[in-house]
Chain A
């Protein structure tokens, strides 16, 4: 069956004629030895074969041809179409009827067999397509599979598939093969709510049969269903994300208002008692209350600053203003400023002068060191050592801020960089709960990485960032050494 479809209609007829001629020639040589009735029976064999292999048309035509050659070559008088013996007339008529009936029967059987096979193939294809599409939630993946199947089934020159929607796209199969003529066949990918896309097919010859068109149409509607399902799933997951972020926002809000209220309460209490007559001008409580207002105002300012930084990091507008800076200078100025906070700890610094210049935002990098050191000061017990080390590691700088404080359970090592995440109860430690996540945001904006790890005697914050900035290595400075 498969081979016959490749032979065009006319060559089937030619072959049928050739076969008849061959059989006629063989029978002709044996004419004297064979009875007319036997010849008629032998002629039925090629007719059956022709109808079986080449179908109804060649079968019927061969039947008629054989009727004529039988009459011409094998029925006396030879080489005429006239018939003398009445029995021969009967034989001829019966032969014709039998030949036509056989051809028709066999031919019809072939046609319905072909149709059944085609239907089975269609069903297999459809099954393959729907299995491949099942469970896909991505427009691109669905479109790819659909186009591939259309291409395989149609054996077309090219297939273009376009999908509309929020992010419309279209592509060709085979890739970048774009015929410069109108497509032979276009079918919309359509659902009840509207058109989701279009399949365009280029296949000049052979023209698409109606069953092929029907199959491709079914493909399109399968694709449409898959696309619609994907979109519904996407909409659902978007709704879920929104709900989650809503929950997160209210958690943040409640945490923030708690953090803001603490210094505000102090300020309010101190200011109102200074205003009232309860505190005398020369009372020892006076300077203390005033100091509390001042300190808490600073704390409030820091809180607001941190919140602002955080929102900037989250919206992706925190752009470091990078310049070549001296890392020991940054570390030095931070530690000098924090000296009064870290009085109870010993700070060991190993940030050598020989380090190359680093491409960082001065203010942001100061903030990273401030937050990491103040975190260590907060959690590590008094009299312990806080170490700050920096060294070059291939094309990066690696900084370690370690303390001898409590270790963090393995499962929380990542989470301590989350907003408002605290291992200990919030009221035991003052701060915003934002310090570490701001550090992470800043380091990542510098193209680096920040992580925490437990070390034998405590906790270590590590970060690295590249020394190469816009393809340039750290510059070395030509210094003038001549004194005036």
Chain B
């Protein structure tokens, strides 16, 4: 059995299949494709891929449904492919267990970045997760709760720290508003996006060099936030 990571692409459009297969094979991945949801579920069960790339608009079943059925038995990372303006579907799929998303049309750099993050998270689930996260000049020590920019320590409030810790622990992944609110605040606060907006702005002012052009905490419009750390 080869060691190259195995990626299952479930998308009904042959052109997309061809493009993704060409690019990923070139980069050293093993690629299997399926053009229908049922077929994809069967292939996922028999091949046990390392990553599933799933298009939300499938001819036979809803992509969110495929996501839910995959999550019944596997924790393998799922990357959603979808067109613009379907934020609702994307958020639904992410909340049903998908790990990340890509909006069509996407650049190849984006695709590879998502795949890398997904692979790292699938391995870190089994192994130990790093406790000190570096992002540019920022150092976040999740064990000692110390945040430094260069040598200077940054003071955070309790909520700000909880928020940053959750983002940093999941660095590279998109986190929906709901998942952040549920994890940092309380499941009962899942609809209070304003908490998130206000605290996020505070946090950016303390961490970012230019809060208007954040380098670490990126806004994913209509979806959530993503923390960018060094690979």
Q: How far is the CA of A475 from the CA of B198 in the complex (A)?
A: 11
| Interface 9-residue window, one of A67-75, A106-114, A322-330, A377-385 | A322-330
- Say whether A323 contacts B155, CB under 8 Å: no
- Say whether B194 contacts A366, CB under 8 Å: no
* Residue of chain B at shortest CB distance from A312: B85
Contact of B26 with A by CB under 8 A: no
* Residue of chain A at shortest CB distance from B221: A363
B residues 45-81 near A (Cβ < 8 Å) are none
- Say whether B222 contacts A484, CB under 8 Å: no
- Also in contact, A479 and B202, with CB within 8 A (given A321-B87, A363-B222): yes
| Interface 9-residue window, one of A51-59, A173-181, A235-243, A332-340 | A332-340
- Say whether B84 contacts A483, CB under 8 Å: no
Contact of B130 with A by CB under 8 A: no
Contact of B137 with A by CB under 8 A: no
- Say whether A335 contacts B212, CB under 8 Å: yes
Q: How far is the CA of A433 from the CA of B72 in the complex (A)?
A: 48
For B146-162 the 0/1 string (1 means CB < 8 A from A) is 00000000011111110
Contact of B97 with A by CB under 8 A: no
Say which size band chain A's interface belongs to: 20 to 34
Q: Which of A294, A332, A366 has the most CB of B within 10 A?
A: A332
Contact of B201 with A by CB under 8 A: yes
Contact of B193 with A by CB under 8 A: yes
Contact of B22 with A by CB under 8 A: no
Q: Which of B107, B159, B198, B210 has the most CB of A within 10 A?
A: B198
- Also in contact, A366 and B221, with CB within 8 A (given A324-B193, A326-B197, A475-B194): yes
Q: How far is the CA of A11 from the CA of B195 in the complex (A)?
A: 89
A residues 355-380 near B (Cβ < 8 Å) are 357, 361-363, 366
- Say whether B197 contacts A325, CB under 8 Å: yes
Q: What number of A-B contacts does a CB cutoff of 8 Å give?
A: 71
- Also in contact, A362 and B105, with CB within 8 A (given A332-B212, A483-B157): no
B side interface size, CB within 8 A: 29
Contact of A207 with B by CB under 8 A: no
Chain B residues positioned under 8 Å from A357 (CB to CB): 194, 197-198
- Also in contact, A484 and B221, with CB within 8 A (given A324-B193, A363-B87, A477-B195): no
For B189-212 the 0/1 string (1 means CB < 8 A from A) is 000011101110110000000111
- Say whether A326 contacts B201, CB under 8 Å: yes
- Say whether A477 contacts B194, CB under 8 Å: yes
Q: How far is the CB of A168 from chain B (nearest CB, A)?
A: 38
Contact of A480 with B by CB under 8 A: yes
Q: How far is the CA of A97 from the CA of B150 in the complex (A)?
A: 136
Chain B residues positioned under 8 Å from A325 (CB to CB): 193-194, 197
Q: How far is the CA of A222 from the CA of B143 in the complex (A)?
A: 90
- Also in contact, A326 and B198, with CB within 8 A (given A305-B84, A363-B87, A363-B221): yes
Contact of A244 with B by CB under 8 A: no
- Also in contact, A321 and B222, with CB within 8 A (given A480-B157, A480-B158): yes
Q: How far is the CA of A335 from the CA of B195 in the complex (A)?
A: 24
Chain B residues positioned under 8 Å from A479 (CB to CB): 157, 198-199, 202
A477 in complex: contacting residue of B155, B198, B222, CB < 8 Å: B198
B219 in complex: contacting residue of A309, A333, A483, CB < 8 Å: A333
- Say whether A301 contacts B105, CB under 8 Å: yes
For B24-43 the 0/1 string (1 means CB < 8 A from A) is 00000000000000000000
Contact of A481 with B by CB under 8 A: yes
Contact of B125 with A by CB under 8 A: no
Chain B residues positioned under 8 Å from A326 (CB to CB): 197-198, 201
- Also in contact, A329 and B105, with CB within 8 A (given A335-B212, A362-B221, A484-B145): no
Contact of A470 with B by CB under 8 A: no
- Say whether A323 contacts B157, CB under 8 Å: no
Q: How far is the CA of A480 from the CA of B159 in the complex (A)?
A: 7
* Residue of chain A at shortest CB distance from B87: A363
A324 in complex: contacting residue of B88, B161, B197, CB < 8 Å: B197
Q: How far is the CA of A339 from the CA of B213 in the complex (A)?
A: 10
* Residue of chain A at shortest CB distance from B197: A326
Chain B residues positioned under 8 Å from A475 (CB to CB): 194
Contact of A232 with B by CB under 8 A: no
* Residue of chain A at shortest CB distance from B193: A323
Chain A residues positioned under 8 Å from B197 (CB to CB): 323-326, 329, 357
Contact of A277 with B by CB under 8 A: no
Q: How far is the CB of B27 from chain A (nearest CB, A)?
A: 19
Q: How far is the CA of A336 from the CA of B210 in the complex (A)?
A: 10
Contact of A482 with B by CB under 8 A: yes
Q: How far is the CA of A483 from the CA of B158 in the complex (A)?
A: 6
* Residue of chain A at shortest CB distance from B200: A329
- Say whether B87 contacts A329, CB under 8 Å: no
Chain A residues positioned under 8 Å from B85 (CB to CB): 305, 308-309, 312
* Residue of chain B at shortest CB distance from A322: B193
- Say whether A323 contacts B194, CB under 8 Å: yes
Q: How far is the CB of A312 from chain B (nearest CB, A)?
A: 8
Chain B residues positioned under 8 Å from A362 (CB to CB): 221-222
Chain A residues positioned under 8 Å from B198 (CB to CB): 326, 357, 477, 479
Q: How far is the CB of B110 from chain A (nearest CB, A)?
A: 13
Chain A residues positioned under 8 Å from B156 (CB to CB): 483-484
B residues 119-159 near A (Cβ < 8 Å) are 145, 155-159
**Apart from A333-B212, A363-B221, 16 more pairs, CB < 8 Å:** A305-B85, A324-B197, A325-B193, A325-B194, A329-B197, A332-B212, A336-B210, A357-B194, A363-B222, A477-B195, A477-B198, A479-B157, A480-B157, A480-B160, A481-B157, A484-B158
**Residue positions of A touching B, CB distance < 8 A:** 294, 297, 301, 305, 308-309, 312, 321, 323-326, 329, 332-333, 335-336, 339, 357, 361-363, 366, 475, 477, 479-484
Interface CB pairs A-B, < 8 A, 25:
A297-B105, A301-B105, A305-B84, A305-B85, A308-B85, A309-B85, A312-B85, A321-B88, A323-B193, A323-B194, A324-B194, A324-B197, A325-B193, A325-B194, A326-B197, A336-B213, A362-B221, A363-B222, A366-B221, A479-B198, A479-B199, A480-B157, A480-B158, A480-B160, A484-B158
**Residue positions of B touching A, CB distance < 8 A:** 84-85, 87-88, 105, 107, 145, 155-161, 193-195, 197-199, 201-202, 210-213, 219, 221-222
